[in-house]
Structure 1
């Protein structure tokens, strides 16, 4: 598998004859600026900042990521900090809060328009960690929230009850918004009727991505050398077993002014050749789960199943051939391949089916999902999106 073409010509490689008709755009889909608790200068960044106080905003973040070779940066600001407080500011002005959110949207749209081939996205990281969980919403033009000022005025455009994920998912599905589970825990988060990582049909429609591994959120490294990271594959697998159709992403959750440069990890987005990169094509690709997660920006992983692309859902009869298509623009070698399997809605354990890049077998009747996981000789890992197969 020769590498697919990469956005903006960076790490470009000629596609193989008959290669998949997609271009890979590499992004960091989770970061903060001074529109919430990020944006601090590297020499003065010790963790989360006081909301709305740091030096750098979305305009600086987009320019920085663009300069350092990313194709996509999402500024995902904490939805409950637009009042300038980590708690609730009784004196906050609703128009100021919602106006700041709109300003972020306008900044992103203007930067993308002025820089074709780079996508600046602005959205929100909804929720709190304690008895909650963080959800990135990528394409909402309205600020969601639950906080009110001392006059009882909502500090947002749309009221959303705190930590009510069932209600959030329903609203997201109704509005066509797509989301990402951010740094999920295996317990105590995203609860529905008291069940952590609880499933709803609306949530399945709205939630498209799950962060599988991130570099540390408070890194000040700007040479892609950060060694601290967190792995969330177990939680993502629980979501898949609960019935969610999520693909894997890997991001940096930057709070310091190093958007995308803490490490070499990227989320790869597959956009059809000839289709311009923009918010619409990004949303379409994520909704289709044409996504892979890589800890090495020079490597790609695309899973196919009987020629069908990762992210697809289809019915099969007879044998199934899964192929983990790996490519590296830097000549990296593979140390291990794992084809993983599970059953949506079972609530069980995801297990390894095979250690071969090409695996042919006949699944048992019923619903299944499969994804590929590749470990390079240098230790960096890649995850494909799953495919969902109903075997007759």
Structure 2
């Protein structure tokens, strides 16, 4: 479901809930007041079958989440943040449209606060050209091409955003795949493998972004999360 409003709110895409969350009289199974995103995140964090994406966001959305201190309930509720969205109203079917990476700074801000979320690109398509107007994709590392495996990949943070539909990126640290939780005092070994069948698409640069280790609001990040699986 897509929850929320554009004005003084923000859209949250919710997966895994078998009940409709809302505020309109007679049109919800679980009540959450309009624009009360603290209430929404509390509801989602209590249901470990759900996970959520922040979609086509504005800087002050979700109760000004990015300007507030780290919120454990929000972190437990959220899994993905859109770093690009659209073009929502494109009618092209030749993969030639491309939306800008508009929300990367917001995503990096959440990371700096301690949120464990992954980047996605969604098309938010309002026409019947699904997947064909743009080459951008969200790529997932799933064990099988099945609903449960794909959901497991998302919940385990084994996914990434790409503007190239057939580029494949493999990323490991100490042999563990993306999304893994590691705690070690030894040296970290990064390995990045990239393949693309298009001869013209040559990778020239690989940049790895990282944060400064340390406490988040007085608590270590690894106290908030348990290893996936």
Q: What range describes the TM-score normalised by the shorter chain of this pair?
A: 0.7 to 0.9
When the two structures are aligned, how many residues end up with a matched partner? 217
Distance 2:55 2:189 in 1: 32
Deviations 1:107-140 (A, max 9, x none): xxxxxxxxxxxxxxxxx11111222111110111
- Given the alignment of the two structures, is residue 217 of structure 1 paired with residue 88 of structure 2, yes or no? yes
- Given the alignment of the two structures, is residue 175 of structure 1 paired with residue 47 of structure 2, yes or no? yes
| Greater fraction of residues in strand | 1
Residue 195 of structure 1: CA displacement?
6.1
Distance 2:78 2:9 in 1: 16
Residue 172 of structure 1: CA displacement?
0.8
Distance 1:199 1:130 in 2: 24
Match of 2:28 in 1: 156
Contact 1:300 1:327 in 2 (8 A): yes
- Given the alignment of the two structures, is residue 242 of structure 1 paired with residue 110 of structure 2, yes or no? no
Within-5 A mapping of 1:105-254? 124-148=1-25, 154-176=26-48, 177-185=50-58, 187-191=59-63, 196=67, 199-254=70-125
Structure 2: state its 5+ residue gaps: 223-229
Question: Relative CO higher for 1 or 2, CA cutoff 8 Å, sep ≥ 6?
Answer: 1
Q: Secondary structure at the match of 1:204?
A: helix
Q: TM-score normalised to the size of structure 2?
A: 0.86
Within-5 A mapping of 1:1-392? 124-148=1-25, 154-176=26-48, 177-185=50-58, 187-191=59-63, 196=67, 199-272=70-143, 275-278=144-147, 280-331=148-199, 332-343=201-212
Distance 1:337 1:130 in 2: 38
Residue 318 of structure 1: CA displacement?
2.4
Match of 1:377 in 2: none
Contact 1:184 1:236 in 2 (8 A): no
Q: Secondary structure at the match of 1:333?
A: coil
Structure 1 runs of 4+ aligned residues shifted over 4 Å read 343-347
Q: TM-score normalised to the size of structure 1?
A: 0.52
Contact 1:145 1:158 in 2 (8 A): yes
Q: Secondary structure at the match of 2:45?
A: helix
Q: What CA RMSD, in Å, does the superposition of the two structures yield over aligned residues?
A: 2.3
Deviations 1:316-348 (A, max 9, x none): 11211222221113232112211101248878x
Deviations 1:190-222 (A, max 9, x none): 126x86466321221221111112331111111
Match of 2:225 in 1: none
Residue 227 of structure 1: CA displacement?
3.8
Distance 1:195 1:249 in 2: 18
Distance 1:345 1:169 in 2: 25
Structure 1: state its 5+ residue gaps: 1-123, 149-153, 348-365, 369-392
Contact 1:142 1:158 in 2 (8 A): yes
Distance 1:312 1:184 in 2: 27
